[in-house]
Homo-oligomer: A and B are copies of this chain.
């Protein structure tokens, strides 16, 4: 596997665009399209929130029932959540308009929305946006970038990635774009993440792989503990690489799995590190846990702890808060027989061992906590399972952004 330039338009046959549709703000790209020249098999995971946005319901139905999909239309500014049956109509109207322009059935058009919950979509602007998108879309790498920029809300940077791998003498490419920032605590899904590949792979295999990958990537990040109404991960495969079909038990399957995992883990970490107001990416790796499930619980509990997040913002090596968060994770362990350390880029320091704090240099600890990636390692000394979770620090800016989001 190698990392290459570009995002969703890196794999063969995928086009994209990002345009200004004036949904909520002027002078910014706020609608995006992904279009595949060939029909795609699709897999997806979606929010577990009981309150599902209309586009989530639309996409769930399409992924489950449509014979194929071929396009995704996304808007920012308005989430189309809490919008009742009118909201569902907006999805259908959007898909219909796009389908007509692209010459594909409306049930081949996935939709996505992100933004404020409550208002209805301005359908005239959406439809005008769809027309612009259909005209602007291209296979250029820069068009993928335009799309990645158009789906941003309070993100500070756009998030795209592409990798390629060899499969049966053919080059298979995977490209992705994602947006996150607030209301990030995915559970079987993330905010919005779109992954395109030209691999030849069956729907069943793709679905299985996506489910597997999500557990250790998007489901292991949190910005604020709030699971959104709109969380969506979609993976589209159009088969245009012409590789022999990727089947379980083959080296190609393993290679593809690794690449898919790498793409999604990278995007998940970027979502966490670019959390609203965040100054640092916080990683917690739990090793030697008794079960995989407990390793995940422990790691996630630490990166979700407001007190730990605020301490990291203050560059304060307050291991008590990490220990406390491990303690209320729901996983059992022996606090008298485990270790916690901070892993800096150049140096690691042990801060807690076997029931009590260790003498360490506060100066060194502060230096490590001032890095852009703060890594916490917890050695549970119980077994050999491990998991990693990613979050961010809690800053004044998180409060500022969210106290005044709608105005």
Question: Does A70 interact with chain B (Cβ within 8 Å)?
Answer: no
Question: Does A293 interact with chain B (Cβ within 8 Å)?
Answer: no
Determine if A355 and B226 form an interchain contact, defined as CB atoms under 8 angstroms apart. no
Q: In the complex, what residues of B have CB within 8 A of residue A354's CB?
A: 84
Question: Does A394 interact with chain B (Cβ within 8 Å)?
Answer: yes
Question: How many angstroms from the CA of A331 to the CA of B318 in the assembled complex?
Answer: 35
Question: Does A201 interact with chain B (Cβ within 8 Å)?
Answer: no
Q: Considering the complex, give the chain B residue whose CB is closest to the CB of A313.
A: B403
Interface residues of A in 80-132 (CB under 8 A from B): 81-87, 116-119
Q: Considering the complex, give the chain B residue whose CB is closest to the CB of A187.
A: B328
Main secondary structure of the interface of A (DSSP, over half): loop
Copies, count? 2
Interface residues of A in 356-407 (CB under 8 A from B): 356-357, 394-396, 398-407
Q: Chain B's nearest CB lies how many Å from the CB of A68?
A: 30
Count of residues in A whose CB is under 8 Å from the partner chain: 70
Question: How many angstroms from the CA of A2 to the CA of B320 in the assembled complex?
Answer: 42
> Could you show 29 A-B contacts with beta carbons less than 8 Å apart?
A50-B326, A50-B327, A51-B323, A51-B326, A52-B327, A82-B335, A83-B355, A83-B356, A117-B319, A117-B320, A117-B321, A117-B324, A182-B307, A183-B321, A185-B328, A225-B225, A225-B304, A225-B306, A226-B321, A227-B324, A306-B306, A307-B402, A310-B398, A310-B401, A310-B402, A314-B402, A314-B403, A394-B403, A396-B396
B-contacting residues of A (Cβ < 8 Å)? 48-52, 79, 81-87, 116-119, 182-183, 185, 187, 224-229, 304-307, 310-311, 313-314, 316, 318-321, 323-329, 331-333, 335-336, 352, 354-357, 394-396, 398-407
Known: A118-B356, A226-B325, A318-B405. 20 other contacts (CB 8 A): A50-B329, A51-B323, A51-B327, A79-B320, A84-B355, A87-B356, A117-B319, A117-B321, A118-B320, A183-B321, A183-B324, A225-B225, A225-B304, A227-B328, A229-B323, A306-B306, A306-B402, A307-B402, A311-B405, A394-B403
